[in-house]
A and B are shown apart, each in its own frame.
Chain A
Amino acid sequence: MAKRIDVSGLNAYYGSHKAIEDISMTVEPRSVTAFIGPSGCGKSTFLRTLNRMHEVTPGGRVDGKVLLDGDDLYGSGVDPVNVRRTIGMVFQRPNPFPTMSIYDNVAAGLKLNGSYKKSELNDVVEKSLKGANLWNEVKDRLNKPGSGLSGGQQQRLCIARAIAVEPQVLLMDEPCSALDPISTLAIEDLIGELKERFTIVIVTHNMQQAARVSDRTAFFNLAAVGQPGKLIEIDETERIFSNPSVQATEDYISGRFG
């Protein structure tokens, strides 16, 4: 199920503006890797390069290598659609499809791709909703619209939608920033369960959250506004938060700047 990601020498651009520069790191399978750093340092951009969503933005382009168990995502002949099927994504703001019911939202990945059997669909929806800890709350109203759920439920619905297509890797872009502490806790618990099956990468502004949920933490920073963001260091979460090897990391974590 879960796969390893190796990034080497990755640069990403918006038009002529270089957003991130020369990033190399390894994301371990069946673990949670957290990205922290100040706003605008390129965490989200980097996350989006990992499943080729960066190039959806007009002017977005990438050079460098991203290897998924050895296969280059940016190699010639690679279909971004297949990459995104393998590497799922959960966004900052919950974005269930407003025209679809809860059931259809979860089944969207399979239904929209057209390759599914009706008999399997019910099982997939139930399994995914259970996987996202949402089944008990919505099992009696699967045919109601997904936009009627609360923000935290909607975000878990989006997670269920992402895991329904059985990706290898799950990317989460600040999944809790729009949620209250209780919903946040529910999603953090969920991340802890999901890492048994998936490789998870999470961007967060909340350092306690990074410390709580992640196994490894990467710190990004930028020299100045307008400069490209860089990876400062990546290490075991405990080491980053207790004894980081770079002074800038310690300054950021202890709140001395940024």
Chain B
Amino acid sequence: MSTTTVKPTGTPGGKPAPSELQRARLPRWAPYVIAVGSLAVGSGIGLAADLSSRLQWGLISAILFVGVSYFLAASVEGTRQAKDRLATSLVWVMFLLAVVPLASLIFETVQRGTKVFDGYFLSHSMGVVADDEPGGGIYHAIIGTLEQVGLACLIAVPIGLLTAIYLVEYGRGKLAKAVTFFVDVMTGIPSIVAGLFVLSFWILILGFDFSGWAGAMALSILMMPVVVRSTEEMLKLVPNELREASLALGVPKWRTILKVVLPTAIGGITTGVMLAVARIAGETAPVLLLVWTNPFINTDPFNGPQGSLPLYIYQQYASGTNAGYDRAWAAALALIAFIMILNLVARGIARWKAPKTGR
């Protein structure tokens, strides 16, 4: 690990005397050199000790990087700078640790999912395809997920928005506190419990059949608190001065909320709703309990079992055949792509609607 240090300039031999403000510093490229060096040493230790997991190599390198950065800086630059470098290197290491699973997940899904991911896969159902046959597709599951998530949004978004508006703009006293408390409680409901609740109420007591609608009800229970929380935070960010400015113009409160407060916060609200959608789009448990499953195309969410993407992935994987594995990975890729597209759309809307700052 070769690192040089910059000696304080201004030796008596003609150079200008060092300012009192100057101190010895590690050169700019020091962190990179330390990082490369740590990686090399870490890999070396891994090879020598015959550690099979690359993760172990990486962790050894990370610890080396943090330690060497600190002690090198401490010896050259002093302890305050060393602490600064310690914090910086820790942040970088943690960031990389957080990115590794994400990157590997995407890499793995894309690598395995693209095998059967094509137009045929997107436009055909599993109707008459046996588990161990290749072919078949996710058309029925896409339809099911879109309809179930769409219906869940139709229930959860209006209720969530209005609840958040009540909490921020009107809510005072005990009722508001109670609502906040129950929203918090709802945030913690496990998805299977929401599913069981709708199952016992809608299907067992009221006697309705499995349907996309039943699943959508359970999904909306999961979605509602997320929408309330995020919308509440966004509405709180709207400066009170804007409300007062509008009220002082003689605009009634409900119009102020509708025309001034909501447009100002719409970008953030959209993002929050989309995150909630992303959360429920991958839920399996309530769908399994309430929508059941259906290899055929059922476009009517109110009648009979439907397919859905998360459940499709589970079933294909559970089938234990190579064709099933391929289909499961491709469907996982489709689900990730679906959520990613939603997020991009949400960000687009947020940017388009956000308060403009240009001149």
Partner-B contacts on A (CB < 8 A):
51, 53, 56, 58, 81-86, 88-89, 91, 93, 95-99, 108-109, 112-114, 141, 144-145, 147-148, 158, 161-162, 165
Contact = CB atoms under 8 A, between A and B. Distances in A.
Most buried by B among A98, A109, A144, A165: A98
A81 B250 contact: yes
A96 to B, nearest CB: 8
Most buried by B among A51, A81, A158, A161: A81
Given A85-B249, A95-B245, A98-B242, 14 more contacts: A53-B247, A56-B247, A81-B250, A81-B251, A84-B250, A91-B244, A91-B248, A97-B242, A97-B246, A112-B246, A112-B259, A112-B260, A113-B250, A148-B357
Given A81-B250, A109-B250, A112-B260, A97 B357 contact: no
Contacts of A113: 249-251, 255
19 contacts: A58-B172, A81-B251, A82-B250, A84-B249, A88-B248, A89-B244, A95-B239, A95-B245, A98-B242, A98-B355, A99-B260, A99-B263, A99-B353, A99-B355, A145-B356, A147-B355, A147-B357, A161-B249, A162-B248
Interface of B: 172, 239, 241-252, 255-256, 259-260, 263-264, 353, 355-359
Chain B residues touching A, majority SS: helix
Contacts of B239: 95
B247 A144 contact: no
A85 B239 CA distance: 22
B172 to A, nearest CB: 7
Given A81-B252, A84-B250, A85-B249, A95 B359 contact: no
A144 B242 contact: no
The 6 closest A-B pairs by CB, nearest first: A85-B250, A98-B355, A89-B248, A148-B359, A109-B249, A95-B241
Nearest to A99: B263
A51 B248 contact: yes
Contacts of B251: 81, 108-109, 112-113
Contacts of A51: 248
Most buried by A among B172, B243, B247, B357: B247
B265 to A, nearest CB: 10
A84 B263 CA distance: 23
B260 A97 contact: yes
A53 B249 contact: no
Contacts of A88: 248-249
A85 B264 CA distance: 23
Contacts of A89: 244, 248
A84 B245 CA distance: 11
A153 to B, nearest CB: 11
A162 B249 contact: yes
A91 B241 contact: yes
Contacts of B355: 98-99, 145, 147
A98 B264 contact: yes
Contacts of B252: 81
A144 B358 contact: yes
A53 B248 contact: yes
Nearest to A95: B241
B250 A108 contact: no
A162 B247 CA distance: 11
Contact of A95 (B172, B242, B256, B357): B242
A222 B139 CA distance: 75
Contacts of A109: 249-251
Nearest to B265: A99
Nearest to A92: B241
B68 to A, nearest CB: 48
A158 B246 CA distance: 11
Contacts of B246: 97, 108, 112
A145 B264 CA distance: 13
A29 B47 CA distance: 91
Contacts of B244: 53, 56, 89, 91, 95
B358 A148 contact: yes
B241 to A, nearest CB: 4
